[in-house]
Amino acid sequence: MVVEENQFRRALVQAYAEEDIAPRLNSYLKEAWMRFSRNKPAFWGLVLLCILITMAIIGPWLSPYPYYETHLSLNNQPPSLKFWFGTDDLGRDLFVRTWYGARISLCVGFVAAFIDLVIGVLWGGTAALAGGKIDNLMMRTADILYAIPYLLVVILLIVVIGSGLLPIIIALTIIGWINMARIVRGQLLQIKELDYVQASRAFGASNWWILRRHMIPNAIGSILITMTLTIPTAIFTEAFLSFLGLGIQAPVASWGTMASEGLPAMSYYPWRLFFPAFFISITLLAFNMVGDGLSDAFDPKRRARG
């Protein structure tokens, strides 16, 4: 019985495709988690993020005061057992507004990072697999966009399309994916030349199959690290734009709008500025500690030594 070359290749590819890479990926992630958990600053940064996210969900329900309710007779009250974070110039409870603001700020950060992840992985993966003129065209386009100041583009888009939650997410992601795309492309170009990828290609595996089964799983560390560091950038940018009056608009609260409202009263009512500024700072610190921890945990050289 004579077996044609194409039939032989299809059989090999089918057998190769049936091989489950999930156990190896799970083992890799488990090892990375063990290294991450031994990194005390990164671990406590993750704990702090979990606390912030939990309080953003349940925090407003811990106070009896509604989000929008004003009490002019109770304006600018200092922190106390009645008003844990004090009140603003309209008598609104800052504890409730702080955690509502956390919902908006964290939502902007996570949604913008997720969109950057999807676009960046698709763009960088396509460029790395295609190679040649397509790769050159795609990355030169990304380089041109990357050369434009990020904050300037965001501000111009906000001015054009208006302020609000959806416009600010669109503005943050319109070129925010470029860094992810460049990192993904660089990682995939290295993985693309490895023996097992070349063997898959020789057996007739499609580019999509190689990308899905080999390249993305082996680049997961760099993707997670980049995504983790993208979130605080989006949160800070949203807070900065809201502080300038270009982002989330009052009476909706985000940490940026609360800081903007508290700045004029800083000399007399410092708690109005302290709490939003404090939570912006510790959130950015926590994400950066987690990002540094992930960088160490997924470091291939450190993994090889381990």
Q: What is the pLDDT of residue 2?
A: 44
- What per-residue confidence (pLDDT) applies to 18? 45
Q: Where are the beta strands (DSSP E) in 93-233?
A: none
pLDDT in 10s for each residue of the chain, 306 residues = 444 545 545 544 454 444 444 555 567 677 777 888 888 888 999 999 999 999 999 988 888 888 777 788 888 888 888 889 988 888 888 999 999 989 998 998 999 999 999 999 889 888 888 878 888 998 898 888 888 888 888 888 888 887 778 888 888 888 888 888 888 888 888 877 777 777 766 766 666 777 777 777 777 778 888 888 889 888 888 888 888 888 777 778 888 888 888 888 888 889 999 999 999 999 999 999 998 888 887 765 554 444
Q: CATH assignment of 34-65+84-305?
A: 1.10.3720.10
Q: How far from 265 is each of 95, 240, 243, CA to CA, in Å?
A: 17, 18, 14
Cα separation, 302 vs 34, in Å, equals 13
Q: Which residue has the tokens 């969109």?
A: 115
User: Peptide bond before 300: cis, by omega within 30 degrees of 0?
Assistant: no
Each domain of the chain, given as residue ranges in start order, spans 34-65+84-305
What is d(CA 276, CA 211) in angstroms, rounded to the nearest whole number?
43
pLDDT at residue number 44: 93
- Please, which residues have CB within 8 angstroms of residue 280's CB and are 6 or more apart in sequence? 105, 235, 236, 239, 255, 256, 259
